[in-house]
Amino acid sequence: MTNTFDAIIIGGGIHGASTAFHLAERGLKPLVIEKNTLASAATGRSSGLVRMHYDLEPESRLAWASFQYFRNWAERVGGECGFTRTGFIQLVPSKHIEQLKANVEMHQRIGIPSLLVRRDDVQRLAPLFNFEDVEAAAFEPESGYADPSATTASLMDAARHLGASLLQGCTVTNLRVVGGKVVGVSTSEGEFSAPIVVNAAGAWAAGVAQMAGVELPITTWRHDTMFINRPPELGPSHPTVIDNAHSMYFRPETGGLTLVGLEDGNPLGESPEGYTDRAQPGFVERAIERICLRVPIMEQASLHSAHGGYDGITPDQRAVIGQMGPEGLYHQCGFSGTGFKIGPAVGACVAELIVDGHAQTVDIAAFDPQRFERGALLKGEHAYDDIWH
């Protein structure tokens, strides 16, 4: 392998692979360096939801632009992403009904197929769910979930076909800076040169930034999920749901399984090297209690498995996307657990930022890494509570 490239991307998750693909489409020869294996960290443990419902318009725009990839994956990228259309329901507590209505209007203005539905309507979508506490919900009929590992692998395969390179099992030990410009990286496999370095290191991103003297306010957070064998009465599938009223989300999985995650009780500041093959003590019991509140027939379900994962999280729980520090250093991290579904569009935007000087697919100026220094934390115009708490 040559040691000189047009760009070096640190991190082989969905964002590293997406940016490599889009840079290669533009004629650059990028190198992705992954300390373990492709999609082995946050991406591989992602729940894979594909939906557009956010209370921040730039995020919804990124999700909508990414959705065009997911639903046309074979034509746009090639390979498989495992996108499965289930329909998506967003539930909120009664105190946030007005925000829900306003956000659906925002989504419709963007062009997203999103509908405000009443209790009777949502009950028809999922007859065995308990919606007694629901006044209204947002419904996206085209949304669902995808396979994060397959998505990342096919992006990387397409990137390599276009001239990108992938180096796995390699740890970046330093960013090389000369005269205020990045010139490459030092690694466990030697030195590699490039005038562009992209920090897409997920839960390790703050440490990578520090190598160049850049302080990013990103810490780690742990997030557990479980799979349960759902009762046959629920049928072969069911809608994907984010249930803010119960701080929970869930979606179907192949093989008669349902994935369940919780939005509270997620520890911050732990080492991203922590043990994740099992969930934290008490998680499964809490998750079972929550899912049975919304889907009472799940009392007949049985546990299949449960595990954890780590991602980077910022003070406003929004991504960091842009240039900061030495010339040529870009950051694409801090996605705070919601980065998978926007990965395709973010990769396109970062490639545009690098090649053209500005993003065209979606305006990503809001995610400027320097917003924290200015105290300009992001908040939706019609905001819900923090996603993770």
Q: State the CATH number of the domain containing residue 305.
A: 3.30.9.10
For residues 300 and 238, membership in a common domain is answered with yes
Place of tokens 């396109």: 348
Query: What pLDDT band is residue 1 in, cutting at 50, 70 and 90?
Result: low
Where does a domain end: 284, 313, 342? 313
Over residues 303-340, the pLDDT tens digits come to: 999 999 999 999 999 999 999 999 999 999 999 989 99
User: Using CA atoms, how far apart are residues 51 and 88, in angstroms rounded to an integer?
Assistant: 7
- Do the Cβ atoms of 224 and 306 come closer than 8 Å? yes
**How many residues appear in the chain?**
389
For residue 81, give both structure tokens: 């992403």
Residue 214: which residues within 8 A CB-CB, separation 6 or more? 324, 325, 329, 331
User: Using CA atoms, how far apart are residues 195 and 286, in angstroms rounded to an integer?
Assistant: 48
For residues 242 and 309, membership in a common domain is answered with yes
Within a domain: 384: no
Say how many domains are in the chain. Answer: 2
For residues 284 and 327, membership in a common domain is answered with no
Over residues 158-198, the pLDDT tens digits come to: 999 999 999 999 999 999 999 999 999 999 999 999 999 99
Query: What pLDDT band is residue 2 in, cutting at 50, 70 and 90?
Result: confident
For residues 250 and 131, membership in a common domain is answered with yes
Average pLDDT over residues 45-73: 97
Radius of gyration for the chain, computed over Cα atoms and rounded to the nearest angstrom: 20
For residues 208 and 269, membership in a common domain is answered with no
Q: How far is CA 259 from CA 117, 235, 254, 266, 303, in A?
A: 24, 15, 10, 17, 10
Helix (H) or strand (E) holding 329: strand 329-333
Please give the mean pLDDT across all residues of the chain.
Answer: 96
pLDDT at 385 over 90: no
Sign of the CA dihedral with 271 first, then 273, 275, and 280 last: positive
How many CA atoms lie less than 13 Å away from 122 in the CB half-sphere?
26
Other beta carbons within 10 angstroms of residue 46's beta carbon come to: 29
Where does a domain end: 264, 284, 313? 313
276 Cα distance to chain centroid: 18
The residues pairing with 172 across neighbouring beta strands, listed in sequence order, are 187
Within a domain: 75: no
Average pLDDT over residues 286-306: 98
- Do the Cβ atoms of 124 and 139 come closer than 8 Å? no
Within a domain: 59: no
Where does a domain end: 294, 313, 332? 313
Determine the angle formed by the axes of helices 14-25 and 343-356, rounding to 10 degrees: 50
Q: Can you count the helices (H) and strands (E) in the chain?
A: 10, 20
Average pLDDT over residues 48-71: 98
- Do the Cβ atoms of 156 and 12 come closer than 8 Å? yes
User: Using CA atoms, how far apart are residues 148 and 11, in angstroms rounded to an integer?
Assistant: 15
Within a domain: 350: yes
Query: What pLDDT band is residue 147 in, cutting at 50, 70 and 90?
Result: very high
User: Using CA atoms, how far apart are residues 335 and 339, in angstroms rounded to an integer?
Assistant: 5
| HEC assignment per residue over 64-99 | HHHHHHHCCHHHHCCCCCCCEECCEEEECCHHHHHH
- Do the Cβ atoms of 17 and 219 come closer than 8 Å? no
pLDDT at 133 over 70: yes
Q: What is the pLDDT of residue 21?
A: 98
Q: What domain range is 139 assigned to?
A: 85-143+219-313
Q: What is the pLDDT of residue 386?
A: 78
Q: What is the pLDDT of residue 74?
A: 97
Query: What pLDDT band is residue 389 in, cutting at 50, 70 and 90?
Result: low
For residues 228 and 358, membership in a common domain is answered with no
For residue 264, give both structure tokens: 């509270």
Place of tokens 């796995």: 168
Query: What pLDDT band is residue 387 in, cutting at 50, 70 and 90?
Result: confident
β-strands 88-91, 240-243 pairing: parallel
Q: What is the pLDDT of residue 319?
A: 97
Query: What pLDDT band is residue 26 in, cutting at 50, 70 and 90?
Result: very high
For residues 133 and 231, membership in a common domain is answered with yes
Percent of the chain with pLDDT over 70: 99
Other beta carbons within 10 angstroms of residue 193's beta carbon come to: 15
For residues 223 and 213, membership in a common domain is answered with no
